[in-house]
Structures are given as structure tokens and as C-alpha cells.
Structure 1
């Protein structure tokens, strides 16, 4: 049985190792990608002024060809930066980065297509999530994550030390033979972080199938009861007014995403983050505001959600390391380094063993010929 586990562990790594390495490298880049991306644009760093954002939205909507504002959301790195997701007639979706305090347009880039116009970190994100291949790529990533989890468990089973041998296994002594040295470090690194890496692999795979999981985004919203803002003249209220309604209901929360009304959904959907939510930026608290009357239609309090929704919402912060602040985000980077390192030592071990087997075969041939 152990020999079968070893063969399965080896060939899973050889077949999927390149994909896992891509996931590790892109994942490490994404841990602090918002801060890195935002600092490169030179925004003011002041708080978002939603009235200013409304003014810019009006200017963007007047552009040619006809433009529809889908939603806008805080970038999550430097304070005050806002990304506006827009649709133009006959064109792919674009994302316009603005300074939410001054209204200055900082960048325009593609949302998914054409790839040549993607921002650097947006490109990395799509490569990490879907291999730039849409839903099909997401499924490939999810399935590869399942195999990665299986391989980590197999590796733990094979590397698990006997009683009294833990110290030697975790901190191997120098070995003379190349194969023995590489095996010792491959085993040690696997034992160091395998439990946390298993959690990262599991949450990453589950995130692939969020459409099939119970989600806070689709959970019933509770009817709202009161509001501080109301439209007086019958016209559609501004997004800034809708934001004030949401802020009145959740005064300690920060605004993360504002989804615009449409003919099918005549309301603003405001997503907020309350203190105590695991996610660092995009909390799960929601408020729907009637676009005509300015009255809150429904709410979703992320601090009072069901256990199923709590598990769902926790997937991303656990996977990305957001759940515990900077320390756990650094730990997420360390998991990427760990995966790359264990794969490197595993590959070197396989090469050393192949070379040793080749030498033995050559010696056997030589003996027979004599």
C-alpha cells in the first residue's frame, strides 16, 4: 500500500506540478496586489467623496459609444481609489480607475477582454483563478486543487515520522548522498506547512464552485424598516444618496461595492464591511435601496448570518490569508514558497533517483557484456 501511495504521490506531482507552480507564483503576487497596484498610480490617498464619484459617473455615462455603469468598488489598497465597471455598446467591459476624492481618472483597462489591455494584476488574477479560460479554466483550477489536496495528504502519510523521530524529520542532518539530502528536505518542508497548505488548497477549490454552494450573496435579505434619506421629487436618487441610506443603517461599516440600478433590478445594492467580518475589504453586509424612493428595501447583516453562509464567506479570507491581518497574509505567501520549494526538492529527488537507476542499468549491462 505504501508503494502505491508513493507512486500516486510522485506521478500526480509530475503531471500537475507545472500548474501548481503557476498557482503558487501567481498566488504570492496576489496577496498584496491591491497595495502594490494602487501605489503605482499616485492617487491622493484621501477618503472617497461619493458626490464626486457621482459626478464622474455622469461624465463616463455621456461618453461614446453609449455607456452603462454597472457598479463601482473601492480598490482596497490606497484609500480613496475607486474602480468603475462600465459597458460600452458593442464592446467588452472596461474598468476605469478614478481618485474618489478628486475625480481624476487614473487608468482605463479591460475587465477580461482583450487580454492585451488588462492591467498587470488583473492579468495575474485571471491567470490564478481561471487560466484566462473562463468557466472552463475555473473548473480546471478547482479540480487541480482537489488533486493538490490529495497529494498533500499522501505526502503527509508517507512522511509521517515514527515516535521519537520528529526532531530528525523536521530538522534533517546533512547527508552526503544527493538523493538522501533532497529526500530529507522534501520531507521536512512537507511536514512544516502541510496542514495550512491543505486548508489553502481546500478553500481555493471550494471557491471554484461558489455557484453551486449556498452563498450569502443569494441568501434571503431581511426587509428593512426605516431610512434617513428619501427621494422628494420622484426622480431616481443618486448613488451617493443610496450610500447614505446604507451608512445610516450600518454606521460603523465601510462601503465596498455599489451596484447600479437596472430595468430588471430597480435598486442600488450596497455592499459594506462591518468591524468583525473576516474579509479585509469586501464584506458580506448588504443593503438594497429603492432607486426611486430612496427607501431601504432589504438588508443582510453579515454578523448575524447562518453557519452555512459563515463558512461560505470565510473561504476567501482563509485562502488569501486576510482572516488574521498582515501576519496571516505573510503566512499565505510562505505557503506559496513552501509549495514551490517542496516541488523543487521533489523534482531534484526524482532526477537524482533516475540518474542513480541509469547508472545501475549501465553497470548491469557492462557486467553482462564482460
Structure 2
């Protein structure tokens, strides 16, 4: 089974390395001056993009997660087509992605890594292969753990001896050096592939409040300001505006101390009719199950360790690719004498 999946694992390692900094790469491709986040200016831009009576409306606003103070505003028209406009903090448009726009290369790499560009079926394949890889790593620890001799001898493989012995020594040494971060990275990634099922199993559903009805009298800027005041020191991550069936702003924030680098996992719900707070859910006060589930993404991406953590993920991808190449070569060398013996 492992031999059958070795190509997929190598693909996962290489694409994972490429997308560690994909948010920054995407934002770096667009030259625009920095402007601090101004909720009132963002609201004015939204009003221009989706004026009253036009049939267009704001679906969501998300941080770009690359450079600070950049946001993606998704506008839906009457036909249900989405247009995404990346804007700076003062609402100045930077890039427009029209409906059915072709996927950018970096975005394609992200989707390839997450689902093999095969939707939910691809995610299940990635998850199942990740579980098998996780068990391989555990088995590798059992096989490679020193029983005789010193760790120094194991971690300094000899360059002498038969090819099989040399490859085994290098596979063992390299494996023991990087296996622990790889276990965390692969384990979190495999669980993320089944995120809905894992969330339900853990009882880690996101916070929510009951739907209410009424006319929207509170604008985007006021809702964001109320939410940020409810969680001092927080940064705006996303806004889901009121829907027809629910006159509530859902504001997602990143609060100090969260592992997520940009998106955050703290929520404030604001009544769009009168501007009162309907619920405040800081990540620091979330139930343990929710915290554990929310930790999967920053562990898998390295965000939990800041910039150093993301570099560690980059090098872990390189480590995994090296282990795959050395391991495949070792398997080939071990079976070569058998083939020669059988030919006789």
C-alpha cells in the first residue's frame, strides 16, 4: 500500500512546500500601497460595489491573509454569480476576479494539495493516505530506534559498506531527525481532510446564535467597530453580513495569543437591527474540544510556531521528500539481488 502511494506522498510533500507562504506570494503579485484598515471606507466601497436596488449584495469579507490590511470582498449578483474584489484597508480596489475566472497557478497548487482537484472524494483520498503515512512514521520509529550503540553513531551514518547498508543508515538517521515534527504535521493534515466529521465527532461545532428577523439598520463599519470593542486588541479576520433569514453580523476576529496567524477563531455576533451584541466567543474561552480542533490548521501550516514554525513545515516537506526518495531507492536495492537470484 505504501509503495502504491509513494507518488502521492511525494506530490503532497512538494506542493506543501510550495504553499507554506502562498498567501504572501499571492499578495506580493499585486503592487499597491499599504493603507490601514478603515471600516467606514470599506463600507463605502461595498456600497459602490453593491448599491441598494442593484440586486447585488455582499456575501463575505475576508482578510487576504498575506499582507496586512488587505481584504477579499465577495459580491453576488442576481444570477448567483460571485465576483471577488481584493481591496486595501481603505477600500481601494487592487484586483478583481470576475465570475468563473480561471484559477491562478498558486491557487491550483493549494487545491491540488488539499483535494487533488477532485472535490470531497479527493479530500477523502488525501485523508486516508495521510493516516497510512502516519502509521508508517510510527513504524519507522520502532524500526529505527537505537537498541545497541549510541545515538551519535546512529545519527552519523557511515559512508562505507554495501549500497543497501548505506541507504538504510541514511534512511534511519534522516528519519529520526525529522520524524517528530512530521508526525504532528501529517496527523493534523489527515484530520483536516475529514474536518466536518472530526468536528462533529469531537463536539467542536463553531459558535452560533439563534436567527432573528428585522430590518438592517446597522452598517458594516458599525458592526465591525462594535465587535472589535468587545474584544480589545483584536484584528479583523472576516465578516459575514446579515442574511434574509437572520439579521445578524458574524464578525470573526484574531485575538492576541491565538495560534492562527491571520484568520483567527474568535467570534462576535452583532444584531443588525439595533447594534447590540448577541454573543461574544473569544478563542481563549472556547471549550477544550473547540480549541483542539482549531489547533489542527495552525499546527499543519506551522502558524502555531510563527515564522519559525512555518519554516519548520517547509523543511519537514523537504525531509519527507528526501525520506521517500531514499526509502524507494532502498526498497529497489533490496529486491535487486532477489531478481538476479531468480534469473539463475
> Normalization by structure 1: what TM-score?
0.84
Is 2:190 aligned against 1:202? no
Question: Residue 190 of structure 1 corresponds to which residue in structure 2?
Answer: 175
Q: 2 CA distance for matches of 1:92 and 1:104?
A: 19
Aligned partners of 2:61 and 2:238 also within 8 Å: yes
Q: 2 CA distance for matches of 1:305 and 1:134?
A: 30
- Mark the CA change 1:180 to 1:93 in structure 2 (over 3 Å): closer, same or farther: farther
1:157-214 deviation line (CA, Å, top 9, x unaligned): 2222214242222220112422222221112111111122111111111122222224
Unaligned 5+ segments in structure 1 are 1-11, 223-233, 366-370
Match of 2:117 among 132, 135, 139: 132
- Mark the CA change 1:263 to 1:220 in structure 2 (over 3 Å): closer, same or farther: closer
- Mark the CA change 1:309 to 1:153 in structure 2 (over 3 Å): closer, same or farther: same
Instruction: Compare 126-135 and 142-151 and name the one that shifted more.
Output: 126-135
- Mark the CA change 1:102 to 1:301 in structure 2 (over 3 Å): closer, same or farther: closer
Is 2:267 aligned against 1:286? yes
Is 2:233 aligned against 1:252? yes
Unaligned 5+ segments in structure 2 are none
Instruction: Compare 138-147 and 234-243 and name the one that shifted more.
Output: 234-243
Match of 2:330 among 349, 362, 366: 349
Secondary structure at the residue paired with 2:264? coil
- Mark the CA change 1:337 to 1:64 in structure 2 (over 3 Å): closer, same or farther: farther
Larger radius of gyration: 1
Q: 2 CA distance for matches of 1:293 and 1:125?
A: 41
Q: 2 CA distance for matches of 1:153 and 1:28?
A: 22
Question: Residue 229 of structure 1 corresponds to which residue in structure 2?
Answer: none
Question: Residue 45 of structure 1 corresponds to which residue in structure 2?
Answer: 34
> Normalization by structure 2: what TM-score?
0.90
1:355 Cα deviation from its structure 2 partner: 2.9
Q: 1 CA distance for matches of 2:253 and 2:117?
A: 29
RMSD (Å) for aligned C-alpha atoms: 2.3
- Mark the CA change 1:90 to 1:355 in structure 2 (over 3 Å): closer, same or farther: farther
Q: How does 1:144-223 map to 2 (within 5 A)?
A: 144-212=129-197, 213=199, 214=202, 218-219=206-207
Secondary structure at the residue paired with 1:14? helix
Aligned partners of 1:217 and 1:284 also within 8 Å: no
1:46 Cα deviation from its structure 2 partner: 2.1
